[in-house]
Chains A and B, each alone.
Chain A
Amino acid sequence: MRVIILGCGRIGSGLAARLGYAGHHVTVIEPVAAALAHLPEGFRGRTLVGDVLDRRILLEAGIDHQDALTAVTPSDDVNIVAARLARLVFRVPRVVARVYNPRAVEIYRRLGVQTVCTTTWGISRIAELLSYSELEPVASLGSDVDILDVAVPPLLVGRPVSVITVPGEIQVAAISRGGRTFLPQPATRLEAGDLLHLVVLAAATDHLVALLRQ
C-alpha cells in the first residue's frame, strides 16, 4: 500500500514506523523539519518538509496515485480539509482524519470523511479499563442475559467450577483449554490459561466481578 501521512507528531511518526515496518510505502509530510526526529532510526519511507496543504508538496508526494492518506496534524481544521481534498480532488480511495472535537465526528462521517476522535476513543477506553473491561459481553441473549468470555483469574486456578456458579445468575457454560472446548462439571478444576465462557444474568454482573476478584 502507498500511503501519505500528514503530520509527524507522536501519532504520525508512530503510524509511519508501524506501516513502514509492515512493508508499506510511506511518505510523511511535516511543516517543522525538527519534528521528523520523531521517526525511528532506520525509517526508510520518504519525508517531505512543507505545509501539508501545499498543492506542490502534495503532488511531489504523489498524492494523485496513493492508496491511502491519513491527516494527523494537531489541527482539526487542517485534518478535515486535507482529508476532504484527498478524497474529492485527488481521489485517494482510503482517507482517515484524526480530530479532537467529538461533536463534529458524526457530521464529518456524513460528509464522507472517516475520522478517529482520539478524545472519545481515549475516554471510552479509559472508562472501560476502570470498570473491568474483561467483562464486555461477546453476545447478548435478549436484554437480560449476556455471554461473557473471561480468562481465569490466577487466584481461581485449582478451584472447582462450582465457586463461580450462582444458580439463576451465573453459569460456566464451557471452558476452552489447550485448543479444545468442553462443557465442565461442577467439580471440574480450573487451570491456568483457561478461557471461561459464562452465561450471566445482566443484573448479576457486579456479583460476577466480586467472584472473579476474590
Chain B
Amino acid sequence: MRVLIVGGGQVGSYLAGLLLEQGHTVTIIEMHEATAVALRHAMPNVTVVHGNGTDPGVLEMAGIHNANLVAAVTGADPTNLVITSLARFAFNVPRAVARVNNPHNTWMFIPEMGVDLALNQAEVLAHLITRTML
C-alpha cells in the first residue's frame, strides 16, 4: 500500500518505520527543513518532502493522487483536519486517519471532515489507566 504521512515528528516517523517493516511504500511531508533532512538520513527508504501539508501543491508533489491512505499526524488539530478534508474530498484518497492532539477537539474529527479514523493518544491513555489501574 502507498501511505502518505503528513507530519514527520515522533508519531509520524515511528509510524513510517512500522509501515516500512510491513512492506508498504511511505512518503512523509515535513514542514521543518532540519527535521526533513534528519528524516532523509535516518530513513533512506522513505520519500521525504519538505513543505506545508495543507498546501495542495505540496500534497500533489508528494503523490497524493496515488496514495491509498493519508495519515495526518501533525501536532496541530486544525492542520490535521484540513489535510484529511483535502485528501478525502479534493484528492479522493480512499481512506484518511488523523491524530487528535487535544482531547477537547475530538468532536471535530468526523467523516464530514474527511476523518475515517481518529487517533486520540490522551483519550486512549486515560481510558486505559482508568480501566486497568483503578
Residues of A at under 8 Å CB distance from B?
A: 51, 53-55, 75-78, 80-81, 84-85, 88-89, 101, 103-104, 107, 110-111
Contacts and interface: CB of A to CB of B under 8 A. Distances in A.
Contact of A81 (B55, B56, B113): B113
Interface string B14-26: 0000000000000
Q: Which of B77, B85, B86 lies at the interface centre, i.e. has the most chain A CB atoms within 10 A of its CB? A: B85
Interface of B: 54-57, 76-79, 81-82, 85-86, 89-90, 104-105, 107-108, 110, 112-113
Contact of B104 (A54, A84, A101): A54
Contact of A85 (B76, B89, B113): B113
Given A77-B78, A80-B85, A103-B55, A85 B90 contact: no
Contacts of B79: 77
A107 B54 CA distance: 11
Q: Secondary structure at chain A's binding surface: helix, strand, loop or mixed?
A: helix
A76 B77 CA distance: 13
Contacts of B107: 55
Contacts of A84: 81, 85, 112-113
Given A55-B107, A81-B108, A111-B85, A103 B78 contact: no
A78 B76 CA distance: 10
